[in-house]
């Protein structure tokens, strides 16, 4: 027979206890966090540095669509141990998605990225003066 466990200072649970943030903090608070990002600029490019420790390079995804740069990651982990008389199975899942509007003066075709020691570096080169002039177009008035 299992021992009986009693709780001191017993308070009956009510519906408001279940809706309280502190009752189930993992369910009511977002367990997703956005990585910290540093953004800097010089005359040649914009540079993003994202802190994504524990992620693999293959978990990261960088896309440019409609002048929006999106950096996302998804990581799944599953462990299973089997011993005499019991089985232990654990799994975890984490993800994030950050988006940035690209300014008109960048060359989206030449964006580059590198990943080392938990830091994702993204370089967004600016257009050269000749390329900026090519973007100017005249609109005829009817």
Q: Tell me: the pLDDT tens digits for 115-141?
A: 999 999 999 999 887 665 566 666 666
What percent helix, strand, coil does the chain show, rounded to 5? Answer: 15, 45, 40
Whole-number pLDDT of residue 11: 53
103 and 72 Cβ atoms separated by less than 8 Å: no
6 pLDDT exceeds 50?
no
59 pLDDT exceeds 60?
yes
Of 58 and 6, the structure prediction assigns the larger pLDDT to 58
In the chain, pLDDT over 70 holds for what percent of residues? 68
56 pLDDT exceeds 60?
yes
Euclidean distance between CA atoms 7 and 63, whole angstroms: 53
For 31-135, the fitting CATH number among 3.40.1390.10, 3.30.830.10, 2.60.40.790, 2.40.160.40 is 2.60.40.790
Beta-strand (E) ranges in the chain? 37-41, 45-51, 60-65, 68-83, 86-101, 112-116, 119-125
In the chain, pLDDT over 90 holds for what percent of residues? 33
Q: What is the pLDDT confidence band of residue 18, given thresholds at 50, 70 and 90?
A: very low
> Tokens in use for 101?
């509007």
Euclidean distance between CA atoms 6 and 105, whole angstroms: 67
Whole-number pLDDT of residue 86: 84
93 pLDDT exceeds 70?
yes
Q: What is the pLDDT confidence band of residue 78, given thresholds at 50, 70 and 90?
A: confident
């Amino acid at each position: 027979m299992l021992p009986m466990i009693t709780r001191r200072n017993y308070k009956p649970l009510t519906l408001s206890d279940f809706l309280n943030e502190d009752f189930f903090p993992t369910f009511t608070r977002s367990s997703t966090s956005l990585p910290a990002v540093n953004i800097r600029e010089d005359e040649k490019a914009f540079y993003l540095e994202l802190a994504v420790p524990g992620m693999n390079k293959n978990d990261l995804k960088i896309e440019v669509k409609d002048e929006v740069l999106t950096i996302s990651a998804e990581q799944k982990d599953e462990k299973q141990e089997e011993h005499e008389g019991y089985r232990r199975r654990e799994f975890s899942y984490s993800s994030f998605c950050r988006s940035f509007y690209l300014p008109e003066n960048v060359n989206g075709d030449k964006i580059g990225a590198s990943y080392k020691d938990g830091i994702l570096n993204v370089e967004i080169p600016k257009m050269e003066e000749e390329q900026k002039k090519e973007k100017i177009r005249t609109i005829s008035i009817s």
